[in-house]
Amino acid sequence: MTSKQRAYLKSLASTMEPIFQVGKSSLTPELTKAIDEAITARELIKISVLKNCFDDPKEIANIVAERTRSEVVMVIGKKIILYRIGKNKKKKINLPL
């Protein structure tokens, strides 16, 4: 992913609200599966890591990205933005070249 594409995805995500929260139980298989389903439907998602979660947000982002075969767009503070190219022909997000 180029820096231009990353910047474009960041701008799209800036208006989004987090749709998942990672709490003290950290990453459970159920949460990972739900994130995978959401990223399949939306392509770009934002995740919030709560204060009671003692894991590092960057580590959580890398683990989720690996398990869902997505890319970490950005981790800033306790917010994680993930992107995965849509599998169907009707992509929701067209990245700049």
Q: Is residue 94 part of a domain?
A: no
Using a pLDDT cut of 70, give the percent of the chain over it. 95
Q: Render pLDDT for 60-84 as a digit per residue (tens, 0 to 9).
A: 999 999 999 999 999 999 999 999 8
What was the pLDDT predicted at 36? 92
Model confidence at 86, pLDDT cuts 50, 70, 90, reads confident
Note whether residue 91 is domain-resident.
no
**Helix, strand, or coil here: 96?**
coil
Closest CA to 18 of 48, 53, 58: 48
CATH of the domain at 17: 3.30.110.60
Which pLDDT belongs to residue 19? 93
Residue 88: inside a domain: no
- Residue 53 placed within a domain: yes
Count of other CB atoms within 10 angstroms of residue 45: 23
Number of domains, the chain: 1
Task: Give residue 27's domain range.
Answer: 3-83
Residue 50 has phi, psi (to 5 degrees) of: -75, 160
